[in-house]
Amino acid sequence: MDCFSQKLELDERLGDQESIGATVGNMGNVHKMLGDGRRALECFARQLEIARRLGDKRSIGAAVGNSGVIHTDQGDYPRAIASLTTFLDIARELGDRRGIGIAAANLGIACKATGDLARSEEYYDLAIATGRQLNARQYLCGYLSDKAELLLVMGRLGEAEAAVREALAMAEEVGEQPDIDKCREIAGRIGAARGRT
């Protein structure tokens, strides 16, 4: 964080607003990874203010999208959905398919948390379609495993099993152990649910 603080100080001395916005956005991401949602939101709010002043749509999308993820983590789902919907709209406007997938997947998570399972499924389907278009296997693996969890909650075990099987194959191909573990855990829950029915 010291490097970012020094960079921010230099950017402010130079008056480079674009660089200040990027630096505070990066600082927000570090705070987010460290679990300090309050400070992350402060950074993203500053990034958003600068991006709006500069008319930088991509940075506006990044700031509201990152804020939406934190609002989801904090259980503030109405604000999360509002922020993530703005991110999705901006990504669509810019033709940013990767951003569309990320926004849709995060909206799927937030909608699932509110109990709006049908809307959650629509967003996961959009994320999965986008991941397939981009052949973004690591993202697609996460989108599929998240949808498998949703389908499990909805009692659609066959579809859940197919989604998690595909996600697990991708996770093993990419070699991401956390994703492999998550897929195996979901598959175990599906198996347990099948044993009860």
The structural domains of the chain, with segments of one domain joined by +, span: 143-197
DSSP states of 80-130 = HHHHHHHHHHHHHHHT-HHHHHHHHHHHHHHHHHHT-HHHHHHHHHHHHHH
φ and ψ at 72, to 5 degrees? -65, -50
Q: Find how far residue 83's CA is from the centre of its chain.
A: 12
pTM of the predicted structure, to 2 decimals: 0.90
DSSP 154: T
b/e code 114-150 from CB counts within 10 Å (16+ = b): eebeebbbebbebbbbbbeeeebbebbbbbbbbbbbb
Q: Is the pLDDT of residue 114 over 70?
A: yes
Average pLDDT of every residue of the chain: 93
pLDDT tens readout for residues 83-110: 999 999 999 999 999 999 999 999 999 9
The predicted model gives 58-63 an average pLDDT of 96
Instruction: Indicate the SS3 state at residue 56.
Output: coil
